[in-house]
Amino acid sequence: MQLICGANGGDMDRRKFILGSTSALTGGLLLPGIVGSAAAQELPAGAVASGILDALPGKRPLIKRSFRPPNYETPVSYFREAFTPNDAFYVRWHTGVPDIALADWRLRIAGPGVKSEREFTHDSLRRKFKTVEVAAVNQCSGNRRGLFNPHVAGVQWGFGAMGNAVWSGVRLKDVLEDAGLTASALEVVGDGADAPTLTGPDFVKSLPMWKALDPDTLIAFEMNGEPLPKWNGAPARLVAPGWTATYWIKALADLTVTDKPFDGFWMKTAYRVPKGMFGASGFESQDTEQNSPITSIKVNSLVVDPAPGAVLERGKRVEVLGIAWDGGSGIRNVEVSLDGGKTWRDAQLQRDLGRYSWRQWRYAIKPEQAGAMTLMARAHARDGSTQAETLVQNPAGYHHNVVQKVDYHVA
């Protein structure tokens, strides 16, 4: 395994803590959060063994969960930045990755829910509709699945199947209204240019009309001011802020407005949670008696720096940096506990970058006692929700938002 460091070297001098003894060191730099971290220890042993750093073309080294289809996780250290660099942004595909030139790209809009069909090129679409942008967390439904106990089969993600970016493109609403919606329009079905390897189901997802018509739901061409990398859905992808990334169809090719619930495998069978376990789905046409589609992101937080396992200097002030996010109500406050959850104090929220963006927070600590130390962080959303105290087990391993316990050593 070749060890290559990310672009975080410049920050390391500022980090005065000594690195954990089990951490891999390369030229004095800590590999971003895989080897020897508390997170890695909770992943299945096989996932730890296979989770090497590996660089896809055009990407920095990321944690490889699988090579084909490419599923690559962002090392936590990149989350020190408010927006995740495109070349460090995680990658998740169900199938092969389409490689479509912008000039060849077409978007078709059809189905019983539209009055007239449409086909756009990139130029015709951009010329016709206003460009807008939204800052939003893109989080895989299965982020943190690897931390489930007992483990659940699937891609064994740690903390990094997510990222925060400014997405830019046209409103899905504007495009749909241009085609004209009929009274029977029920769901908007998005299909990408990717196709299954064998005879398996094509990866196709639908949105309820209210979400499709939300002014923040986009057909995006850029992230963080640059064209989408092909790994993240070039030439265009859906952006459904606040909802898990399964709905953010990459390499978008077709939109079909249906008058019946779309019943493809990836809606009807996969990406489901037991009914009522995580509240109402907001997607009634896809609810059944037993289960619901996973939809909005649950409130969550993550300690970014110092990394778990770090050795802190006794009597020395350290600023803990973290992030917090939810499905779009916004973060009300983040609390930190240093006594196992008996008492909590508010962290200092940083600049509000929009309700779908994550919010950075800081909390200064000055450890006075040598030995083990545990820091807990808990976010509260403006909608009154807060993180889970214990894991809510569910068959597919979704919505892991248990309050994090980060162990440090004070010396």
Partner 1 sequence: MCHSLDYILMNSPFQDKAAWEKTVNKMVKVMGAPMTADDVAAVVAYLDTHYGKGAPATP
Interface residue list for partner 1 (CB under 8 A)? 44-47, 49-51, 64-69, 150-151, 153-156, 196-201, 265, 269
Print burial letters for 32-49: b (CB count within 10 Å at least 16), e (below 16): bbbbbbbbbebbbeebbe
| CB closer to partner 1, 50 vs 350 | 50
Q: Please list, in sequence order, all residues whose beta carbon lies within 8 angstroms of the beta carbon of residue 403, skipping any fewer than 6 positions away.
A: 341, 376, 377, 378, 387, 388, 389
User: DSSP 3-state helix, strand, coil percentages of the chain (rounded to 5)?
Assistant: 15, 35, 50
| CB closer to partner 1, 94 vs 237 | 94
| CB closer to partner 1, 74 vs 360 | 74
- How near is the Cβ of 235 to partner 1 at its closest, in Å? 25
| CB closer to partner 1, 51 vs 233 | 51
| CB closer to partner 1, 69 vs 261 | 69
* Tokens encoding 274: 């037991």
* Tokens encoding 205: 């997802």
Mapping DSSP to helix (H, G, I), strand (E, B) and coil, where does residue 124 land?
Answer: helix
- How near is the Cβ of 96 to partner 1 at its closest, in Å? 10
- How near is the Cβ of 141 to partner 1 at its closest, in Å? 17
- How near is the Cβ of 269 to partner 1 at its closest, in Å? 8
| CB closer to partner 1, 246 vs 357 | 246
- How near is the Cβ of 59 to partner 1 at its closest, in Å? 17
70: cis peptide before it, omega within 30°? no
- Cα–Cα distance measured from residue 216 to residue 195, given in angstroms and rounded to the nearest whole number: 28
- How near is the Cβ of 10 to partner 1 at its closest, in Å? 32
Mapping DSSP to helix (H, G, I), strand (E, B) and coil, where does residue 30 land?
Answer: strand
Mapping DSSP to helix (H, G, I), strand (E, B) and coil, where does residue 99 land?
Answer: coil
| CB closer to partner 1, 75 vs 328 | 75
Tell me which H or E stretch contains 302.
Answer: strand 300-305
Best CA proximity match to 216, nearest among 278, 168, 281: 168
- Cα–Cα distance measured from residue 49 to residue 362, given in angstroms and rounded to the nearest whole number: 33
- How near is the Cβ of 51 to partner 1 at its closest, in Å? 8
- Cα–Cα distance measured from residue 80 to residue 8, given in angstroms and rounded to the nearest whole number: 9
